[in-house]
Chains A and B, each alone.
Chain A
Amino acid sequence: MSPKELTSESFARYPVEGQKLAVSKIALLRNLPLGFVPFVLKEVIAYDWKFPAERKELEQQFSYLESLPGEEMRRQMAVFAQLRLSPALEASDWVDFPGQFLEQLSAQLWATHQMDAFRAASETYMQTVFAKFPQGVPSIPRLGIAVIGQGVVQKRYALFRKLSREGVYFHQVKAKGGLQSIMKTVNARAEAHTVPYGHWYIDGGETAALAGSAVTCVSYQALAPARAMLTEKMRKVYTSANFSAEALRTLLAQIGPQELGMSASGADAVLDRFAISLLTEGSGTQIFSTTFVQWAAREALRRAQPVTLLARYMPRQREKPMNELLLEVQAKPESDPHGSLIDGDMGAYYTWLNQQRLTGADQSSFLVWFEDHGEAVAVGPAFPRGTEERKSVEIHELLARVS
């Protein structure tokens, strides 16, 4: 099927809001090449569960494409139009399953050495759109906070190697009441600056009871039932006589909230869909809580573009060496606080990097704290890069300087 053959009925199986959007843009969609239009439809089909920031970006891209004169449109789409696709891929159901189409497209681009050209064209396209619609600065400077190392008594690893180059390394932070101070700051920002999905708290264990109602909360522990259900579904496919990688990918792509015991509609539907995407699209998020927190923070920043984000890393399960696995097959999982500290250290750096990819980066601040210990790094306009501070400081004082 060619994009030119799209009709309103083509989107009959789309969710309500997505269907409306697709039908309203059908004239544009018909003019896009097959190497591009599934990228658009992948976003449209999930439009009902998009965060406000994502919806805005999608609408801006539509506006941009609709504004292009015919010749300019052909120029912008030239690389995508020239992609060599297999007949089987062209014949696949890219309208109802754009995600699967893109996965196969990616494999073909690699196999036919077209990936580099595609990647360059994609980046050029995005830069052009961003230039056309400059993103405004956030209502308040962004603040990211990472809390790492819970459960570690004595560290055996040099922390903050990357982040300390970007700000001030504090060596004498008074740890008492640190988490409460951090939660208080997050809650205060959420209450003072009401932004839908603008303030996040992601926890690798249970969500702390201190989190306020204006804060969007996601926790590894709260998703334990969903993780168990998902793992069981994957196991069934994996062990079935008709197993195929395609079957498992299809399962993951089509899995809905009800199948994992979550709400399908209502106020939490957007967040539930977000949580499902963390488990079905993230690698390692089902098994390791540290990976879950890092990936959730990345996706929250990329998609919701919050002004406040707190990511707290808790000890993940320990990866047993081969000899232990062979000898103690049935042993219960243990936690690995020290390994989790190292995971969290890198995860904090990645969270800062992802925050810096958003607008207002020059005014954004970031704090990473070794929980219950005296070490922290603060990054932002108020903190000279690559410096150290050995004087004693309270966490609430640091928070006052970063927020």
Chain B
Amino acid sequence: MLGSGYLNPWAGANSTREVSRAISLSRRDFLRTATGAVAGSALFGSMAGRGMALPRSKKAIVVTFGGGARDDETFALDGQENIPHLLHDLMPRATFFSQVVNRGILGHYVATASLATGVYESFNNFAAVPPDFPTVFEYFRKDLKRPASDAWVIAPSNGFNRIGESGHRSYGAGMGAGVILPKRLLAAALPGGGGGGYDHLLRDNYESAVYSPAVGGHELEMQQLAEVLKLSVNDFAAHAKSLASPDELSVYIARQLMRHLAPSLLWITLHDIDIAHSGTFSLYLDGIKRSDRLCGELWSAIENDPEYAGKTTMFILPDFGRDSDISAGGNGFQHHRTGDPVSRTTWMMAMGPGVRQNVVVERPVESTDLVPTLGSLLGFNPHLSTGKPLTEVL
């Protein structure tokens, strides 16, 4: 009637907290081996590994994987070949949080919204609704009196079209971020609106083949994109034909935004990894490798752009994990339905000016801590967030 037996390799780790810590220790040990990273507690308070002095105008770029990747395929021994850029290019510059716990709903839209509000949102993952609590974009723009052009979201699917601003009465309409949905733009740019033959490419998400919410929210339409980014519809469609995946399209648009508007707060949600829901392990690995490469490219773009170099902090984190192989109620990497500790525990990487380099923070933190950390970094007050600033990167 209900679930069945349970094989547990985390033998001896008999509570969720202990399992999470076991996962964290596994990551830390691997990172030490692979990169020579040191534990944060050993360096806390010292200047070792500190980057350059903080500049006046700060920017932040957040990259989330809207389709969690497990340790097995990333930071564990078998997974290292899939993340060469994260390990060898970015980790030496980063503070790595090895135990980021998501205690909310494990659906990609609602979880990403929770990351963006700093509160565990509880709306239906498959509903086209705005977050209940103010987003980081609203706090940022209202407190710092920033224009609309200074905060942007690039998101994978229709379901994210409301993520730019909340339904909160003190914030909301007109106070959030512009949202770009690259697949929607591509559909608009393709012959016949993307119908007939392009359905597979333009599918809304991998989690549910049936979701296609009504249009709404503060998303950018094709003509607006052309005006804002000085990019014609034809050029956009032509460039899309040279890219291998929707995530590559998202990063292309991110770079266009950086070049033309140089927003101070840019949020990109990558989604190729979530093809894992189709059950094809090789395509899931391909998604991880692509995300790894794109993260490296984004950091390289930051370092080579005078508007961003030396003043930008980048955060990289999966929204959550995926089910463990050992949870009998799940089917391993394919889904994130069991709510087991592996699916709730993930990691975060932060790098930029003032952030300690090649440091591992082992203490458990929560995914809702991101927004208060951004608040402390950029100077706004996310007063409704339930998270706490991560002092290790401030």
Chain A contact residues, CB within 8 Å of chain B: 39-40, 42-43, 58, 61, 107, 110-113, 115-116, 119, 122-123, 125-126, 130, 161-162, 234, 238, 243, 245, 248-249, 282-285, 287-288, 290-291, 294-295, 298, 302, 316, 319, 321-323, 325-327, 329-330, 336, 338-343, 345-347, 349-350, 353, 356-357
Contacts and interface: CB of A to CB of B under 8 A. Distances in A.
Contact of A287 (B104, B196, B278, B331): B278
Given A107-B124, A126-B2, A323 B325 contact: no
- Which of the listed residues A110, A119, A243, A248 has the most CB atoms from chain B within 10 Å of its own CB? A110
Nearest to B104: A113
A283 B334 contact: yes
B248 interface: yes
Contacts of A357: 4-5, 7, 328
A75 B113 CA distance: 38
Interface string B262-300: 000000000000010111111101000000000000000
B338 interface: yes
A111 B122 CA distance: 5
B197 A329 contact: yes
A32 B87 CA distance: 53
A200 to B, nearest CB: 18
30 contacts: A39-B2, A42-B1, A110-B106, A110-B339, A113-B104, A113-B120, A119-B3, A122-B3, A126-B2, A126-B4, A243-B212, A283-B277, A283-B334, A284-B277, A285-B279, A287-B278, A298-B331, A316-B280, A321-B244, A322-B243, A322-B249, A323-B240, A325-B198, A326-B190, A326-B240, A336-B282, A342-B285, A343-B282, A350-B331, A357-B7
B105 interface: yes
Contacts of A119: 3, 329, 338-339
Contacts of A345: 281
B211 A245 contact: yes
Interface in B190-240: 190, 196-198, 200-201, 208-212, 240
B126 interface: yes
Interface in B95-110: 103-107
Interface string B325-342: 110110111110011000
Contacts of A234: 209
A285 B277 CA distance: 10
A302 B198 CA distance: 37
B1 A330 contact: no
Contacts of A322: 201, 240, 243-246, 248-249
B218 to A, nearest CB: 24
Given A112-B122, A341-B282, A346-B281, 16 more contacts: A61-B1, A110-B107, A110-B125, A126-B3, A161-B78, A238-B210, A290-B279, A322-B201, A322-B246, A322-B248, A325-B200, A325-B201, A339-B283, A343-B280, A346-B333, A350-B331
Nearest to B272: A322
Contacts of B201: 322, 325-326
Given A248-B210, A357-B7, A340 B241 contact: no
A288 B243 contact: no
B1 A283 contact: no
Interface string B102-142: 01111100000000000010111110000000000000000
Nearest to A234: B209
B3 to A, nearest CB: 5
Contacts of B210: 238, 245, 248-249
Given A323-B244, A342-B285, A58 B249 contact: no
Contacts of A316: 280
A112 to B, nearest CB: 7
A266 to B, nearest CB: 28
A58 B1 contact: yes
B126 A245 contact: yes
A162 B209 CA distance: 31
Nearest to A157: B282
A295 B332 CA distance: 11
B46 to A, nearest CB: 39
A130 B5 contact: yes
A58 B2 CA distance: 10
